[in-house]
C-alpha cells in the first residue's frame, strides 16, 4: 500500500505560515489557518516540518473552499471535512482506492438466480435495525476494502440464518488468503475471499484474529479456528437493479463502486447522485434501500473508512436512474466486469456475489 507522498516544494512564507500566520495573513486565510489547526487536533494529524505543513494547509484550504462552494447550492447531498481533507483527490485515489481488483476472467451470469421470484414489498429496509450489521470499521491505509466487504456480507448472512451477530476477521483474509489473486493490503476481490472462507472451513472472529491494517504472516492456529462457515456464493444478474433489490431484501450484499470523485472523498450526508465513472475501485456492502420523503430512491451502503467519513461511516446512493452510459457499460464489461450496472449515476459491480449459498451459512 502506498504511503502518503511527500513532495518537496518552495512556498513563500512557509515558515511564517507555520509560526505566526494569524498575524500576517488576510482575515479569510487567517480563519482558514485556525480551522486547519482545529482539524489537525481533531484527527491527530502531524507533519514532518513547516514546508510539509504549509503544503498540506494549501490542500486543506482548497478542499474546504470546494466543500463550501458545493454546499452553498442546495442539492440532494452535502459535503464536509473529514480525515481526507488535506489530500488532493489524486492522493486520495492513490492511497485509499487501490484495494478493489477486478477479476481477470469473466464468469457467466447464473442461469437460475436464487432470488428471481422474490417479491419485494417493503419500500424501506435497513439491515442495521434487524441486527445484521456490525459497527463501522476502519481499514486505514491498507487497501483491504475487499476483505471488509467480504466480512460484512458474511457477518450479515450468519446473523440472519443463526441469530448471532459476530464480528469476523478481515486480518485473517489479508494474512492467509494469499495463494491466489488476493494480495492483502495491495488489493483483492470478494469472490476469491468467499472461496477462501469456503475452502478454509470458515473464518475466525475479529477478537481472536484482530485487525492490524498491515500485511502479516498467516497464523495457522487462528486460521483453523473458525467461528462462521459459508457454503457458496452467486452472481447477481448483470445490469439489473431489480435483481440487486431482491438480493438486498434477503441479505447484505457486497458491491464494488467508483469512489474516485472529490465529492465522494468529502461526502457527509444525503443521497449521493454523483458524479462518478465506470471505473470500479472500491468495495463496500449494500445493507439496505429506501425512498426519501421527496420520492428519491436510494441504496444504503456500509463503508470501511471509519465513522468520520460520510454519514457516520455510511452513504446513501441514488438508485433506479437510467444512466446515459450505454457505451461505458459495454467498455466496463469488455474490461472484465461481468456484473456491472448503473445504480443511480454510478456503476456498481457485484463480482460473483449475491451469495446464492451463503444463505446456507452456519456457525459451528
Rg of the chain taking only CA atoms, in angstroms: 21
303 is catalytic: yes
How far is 308 from 136, CA to CA, in rounded Å? Answer: 10
114-132 in b/e form (b: 16+ CB < 10 A) is bbeeeeeeeeebebeeeeb
- Name, in order, each residue with C-beta under 8 angstroms of 20's C-beta and a sequence gap of 6 or more: none
145 is catalytic: yes
What are the chain's domains? 1-74 (no CATH), 96-360 (3.90.70.10)
> What pLDDT tens digit does each residue of the chain (364 aa) get?
444 443 333 333 333 333 333 333 444 577 999 999 999 999 999 999 999 999 999 999 999 999 999 999 989 999 999 999 999 999 999 999 976 766 655 555 556 788 889 999 999 999 999 999 999 999 999 999 999 999 999 999 999 999 999 999 999 999 999 988 899 999 999 889 999 999 999 999 999 999 999 999 999 989 888 999 998 888 777 777 888 899 999 999 998 888 989 999 999 999 999 877 777 889 999 999 999 999 999 999 999 999 999 999 999 999 987 543 332 322 222 112 222 233 333 444 443 333 344 444 444 4
| Catalytic residue of the set 102, 142, 145, 176 | 145
| Catalytic residue of the set 102, 303, 346, 352 | 303
* Cell numbers at 338, concatenated: 461481468
How far is 164 from 364, CA to CA, in rounded Å? Answer: 12
DSSP letters spanning 56-122: HHHHHHHHHHHHHHHHHS--SEEE---TTTTS-HHHHHHHHS--B---SS--PPPSS-TTTT-----
71 is catalytic: no
Amino acid at each position: 500500500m502506498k504511503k502518503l507522498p511527500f513532495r518537496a516544494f518552495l512556498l513563500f512564507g512557509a515558515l511564517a505560515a507555520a509560526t505566526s500566520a494569524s498575524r500576517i495573513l488576510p482575515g479569510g486565510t487567517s480563519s482558514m489557518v485556525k480551522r486547519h489547526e482545529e482539524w489537525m487536533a481533531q484527527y491527530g494529524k502531524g507533519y514532518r516540518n513547516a514546508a510539509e505543513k504549509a503544503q498540506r494547509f494549501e490542500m486543506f484550504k482548497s478542499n474546504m473552499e470546494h466543500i463550501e462552494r458545493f454546499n452553498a447550492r442546495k442539492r440532494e447531498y452535502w459535503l464536509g471535512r473529514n480525515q481526507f481533507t488535506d489530500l488532493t483527490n489524486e492522493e486520495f485515489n492513490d492511497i485509499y482506492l487501490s484495494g478493489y481488483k477486478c477479476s481477470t476472467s469473466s464468469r457467466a451470469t447464473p442461469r437460475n438466480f436464487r432470488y428471481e421470484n422474490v417479491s419485494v414489498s417493503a419500500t424501506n429496509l435497513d439491515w442495521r435495525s434487524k441486527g445484521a450489521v456490525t459497527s463501522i470499521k476502519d481499514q486505514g491505509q491498507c487497501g483491504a476494502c475487499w476483505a471488509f466487504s467480504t466480512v460484512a456480507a458474511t457477518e450479515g448472512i450468519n446473523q440472519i440464518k443463526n441469530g448471532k451477530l459476530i464480528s469476523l476477521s478481515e486480518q485473517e483474509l489479508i494474512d492467509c488468503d494469499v495463494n491466489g489473486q488476493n494480495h492483502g493490503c495491495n488489493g483483492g476481490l470478494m469472490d476469491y475471499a468467499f472461496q477462501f472462507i469456503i475452502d478454509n472451513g470458515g473464518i475466525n472472529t475479529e477478537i481472536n484474529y484482530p485487525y492490524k491494517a498491515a500485511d502479516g504472516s498467516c497464523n495457522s492456529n487462528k486460521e483453523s479456528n473458525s467461528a462462521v462457515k459459508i457454503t457458496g456464493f452467486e452472481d447477481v444478474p448483470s445490469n439489473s437493479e431489480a435483481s440487486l433489490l431482491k438480493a438486498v431484501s434477503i441479505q447484505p450484499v457486497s458491491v464494488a463502486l467508483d469512489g474516485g470523485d472529490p465529492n465522494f472523498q468529502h461526502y457527509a450526508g444525503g443521497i449521493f447522485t454523483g458524479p462518478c465513472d465506470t471505473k470500479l475501485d472500491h468495495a463496500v456492502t449494500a445493507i439496505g434501500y429506501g425512498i426519501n420523503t421527496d420520492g428519491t430512491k436510494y441504496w444504503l451502503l456500509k463503508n470501511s473508512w471509519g465513522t468520520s467519513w460520510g454519514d457516520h461511516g455510511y452513504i446513501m446512493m441514488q438508485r433506479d436512474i437510467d444512466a446515459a452510459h450505454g457505451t461505458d457499460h459495454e467498455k466496463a464489461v469488455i474490461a472484465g466486469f461481468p456484473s456491472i450496472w448503473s445504480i443511480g449515476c454510478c456503476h456498481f459491480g457485484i463480482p460473483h456475489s449475491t451469495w446464492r449459498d451463503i444463505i446456507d451459512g452456519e456457525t459451528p
